[in-house]
Copies of this chain bind each other. A is one copy, B any other.
Amino acid sequence: MQEELLMIPGPVPVIPRIREAMSRPMISHRSDEFSAIYGEIVDDLKRLFQTKNDLFVLSGSGTCAMEAAVGNLTGITSANINGTEKTKPQSSVVTIVNGKFSERFQEIAVRYAGRDAVTPVRFNWGDPIELEEVKKALEKSSDPEVKANANANANATRKIVTMVHNETSTGMLNPAREVGKLARKHDAVFVLDCITSIGGDDVRVDEFGADIAIVGSQKCIGMPPGLAALSISERAWDLIAENRNRPYYQDLLAYKKSFGKGEGQRQTPYTPALPLFFALHEALKVIKEEGMAKRIERHRRLSNAVRTAISRLGLYLFPTLNEATDYSNTVTAIKTPLAAGITDELLRGGMRKKGVIISGGQEELKGKIFRIATMGNITETEVLRTIAALEEVLAENNFIERVGNGLEAAEEVLL
C-alpha cells in the first residue's frame, strides 16, 4: 500500500535521511560535539534567513518563538513617567491581522502589553493588507505616556509592528518589504513571522528590515515539528535589554549569554531537544545540496502548478489580492465548491480515502476552504498525486465530467 501523503502546511513529510538522523545515540548537550553541531546549524540558518543578525534555535513550536519575539519586546515594566514610578506597558504594538496566525500575534501582544497598548489593523481573513491603514496605525500608536517614557531613554524604540509573512490559514503572502519600510520610517521594531516561508521562499530578513524573524522546523525546512529559530537585530536587543518581564524559557538574553564564540561554547540555556537538532543539522545539509535558489524556484513551481490545476478544474483560489500582496508560494488555499454540493467532508474525506491528507479551513473558514501545502522536500511526484486524487474526488462528485485536465495543467507548469 502507498504511504499516506501529507500535503498539509506542517508537519510536512520528512525524507528518510532526516528522520534517521534522529535515531543516533544521545550526547551531552554541554559537549564540544553538540556545540559544533549547533554552531553549524546557526551559520546555515543565517544564510537561509539572509541575515547577519544573531540567531538562536528554541526547543518549541513556531508559537513558542512568536511568544519569544513579542514577550521579549513588550513586557510590562515599571517606568519613571512624569517623575513618578508607574507600571506601564513597555511598548505599543501594532498587529497586522488578516488570518489565524496574525490573530495569534494579537493575542500574545495583548497578554504581554495589555489591551490598551495594542492596536490591531484588521482585515478580513484572506483580504490583502492596505499599507495606508498600517501607516495610519503606526502614526497613532504612540500614546503620550509611552512616548514621554521613550524620550527619557533615547536608545529605546518603543513601537512594535507584527506581521505574518506567509499566512497559511489563507494562502496569502503579505508585503514584508513594504511593511519593513513603514516600520523603519516610524522607528518601529518589525517582528516578522516567516515560519512557513523561510526555506521555501526568498526571504531577505535584513533587506526587509525584519528585526525579529522566525522560522518553524516542520514547514519549508522539511524536518519534523519541535524546533523554531529566530533572528534578532541590534535594535531589537536594545529594547529587550530593558524589559524586566521577559518570559523565562524563551528569554532571548539567556540564549545570547549561552551562545559563546569559542570551541564548545555554542550552547543553549536549557537542555535542547537533541534528536531534533540532529534532524535540523541534516535538513540544512539537504538544503545546501539542493541550493537555495533552486529550492525557492521549486517551491514556486510546485505552488504555481497547484494554482494552475485548480483554475483549470473550475475551482477558485481563496485570497483576494491587491498590488502589495501575492499568493503564497508554499500553500494554496481554495474555495470549497459548496454551491455544487461538495462539502469539506466529501472533498477532504474523499482525498483521505485515496491516501492524500490536505487541510481544511480553520476557525471562521472551517468548511469553506481547503488547503494544499507544497513545502519542504515535496517534489513533482507528490503534487501530481495530489492533483490526480483531487480530480478523482471532483469527478466522483460530478463537479467535473472527466479526469485529466487538472493533471495536464499541472504538468504544463512542471515539465
Known: A248-B107, A272-B225, A275-B226. A27 touches B10 (CB 8 A): no
Known: A62-B271, A357-B28. A20 touches B19 (CB 8 A): no
Q: Is A247 an interface residue (CB 8 A)?
A: yes
Q: How far is the CB of A194 from chain B (nearest CB, A)?
A: 16
Q: Choose from B22, B66, B276 the contact partner of A23 (Cβ within 8 Å).
A: B22
- Roughly how many angstroms separate A14 CA and B10 CA in the complex, as a whole number? 27
Q: Is A232 an interface residue (CB 8 A)?
A: no
**Which residues from B are CB-within-8-Å of A59?**
59-61, 64, 225-226, 273
Known: A23-B23, A108-B248. A273 touches B12 (CB 8 A): no
Residue of A27, A29, A276, A357 contacting most chain B CB atoms (<10 Å): A276
**Which residues from B are CB-within-8-Å of A31?**
357
B27–A23 CB distance below 8 A: no
Q: Choose from B4, B111, B226 the contact partner of A274 (Cβ within 8 Å).
A: B226
Q: How far is the CB of A266 from chain B (nearest CB, A)?
A: 17
- Roughly how many angstroms separate A64 CA and B4 CA in the complex, as a whole number? 33
B23–A271 CB distance below 8 A: no
Q: Is A76 an interface residue (CB 8 A)?
A: yes
A 1-44 to B, binary, CB cutoff 8 A, 1 in contact else 0: 00110101011111010011011111111010000000000000
B19–A6 CB distance below 8 A: no
Q: How far is the CB of A413 from chain B (nearest CB, A)?
A: 26
Can you tell how many copies of this chain the complex includes? 2
Q: Is A245 an interface residue (CB 8 A)?
A: yes
Q: How far is the CB of A212 from chain B (nearest CB, A)?
A: 16
**Which residues from B are CB-within-8-Å of A25?**
3-4, 13-14, 19
- Roughly how many angstroms separate A272 CA and B249 CA in the complex, as a whole number? 17
Considering only CB atoms, which chain B residue lies closest to A33 in the complex?
A: B4
Is the contact region of chain A dominated by helix, strand, or loop, or is it mixed? loop
Q: How far is the CB of A148 from chain B (nearest CB, A)?
A: 19
Considering only CB atoms, which chain B residue lies closest to A76 in the complex?
A: B76
B276–A273 CB distance below 8 A: yes
**Which residues from B are CB-within-8-Å of A275?**
19, 22, 224, 226, 275-276, 279
Q: 8 Å CB contacts to B: which residues of A223-251?
A: 224-227, 245-250
Q: Is A218 an interface residue (CB 8 A)?
A: yes
- Roughly how many angstroms separate A28 CA and B272 CA in the complex, as a whole number? 24
Q: Is A270 an interface residue (CB 8 A)?
A: yes
**Which residues from B are CB-within-8-Å of A216?**
271
Q: Is A392 an interface residue (CB 8 A)?
A: no
Q: Is A201 an interface residue (CB 8 A)?
A: no
**Which residues from B are CB-within-8-Å of A6?**
26-28
Q: Is A87 an interface residue (CB 8 A)?
A: yes
- Roughly how many angstroms separate A276 CA and B23 CA in the complex, as a whole number? 11
Interface CB pairs A-B, < 8 A, 20: A3-B25, A6-B27, A11-B26, A12-B26, A14-B25, A16-B23, A28-B357, A60-B249, A63-B249, A71-B247, A71-B248, A87-B87, A111-B248, A218-B271, A225-B272, A226-B276, A227-B273, A249-B249, A273-B273, A276-B276
Q: State the 7 A-B residue pairs at the shortest beta-carbon distance, nearest first.
A: A226-B273, A22-B22, A11-B26, A19-B23, A63-B270, A64-B249, A225-B271
Q: Report which A residues bind B (CB closer than 8 A).
A: 3-4, 6, 8, 10-14, 16, 19-20, 22-29, 31, 59-64, 66-67, 71, 76, 87, 107-108, 111, 216, 218, 224-227, 245-250, 270-276, 279, 357
Known: A62-B270, A225-B272, A225-B274. 8 other contacts (CB 8 A): A6-B27, A8-B28, A14-B25, A61-B249, A64-B249, A67-B247, A216-B271, A275-B279
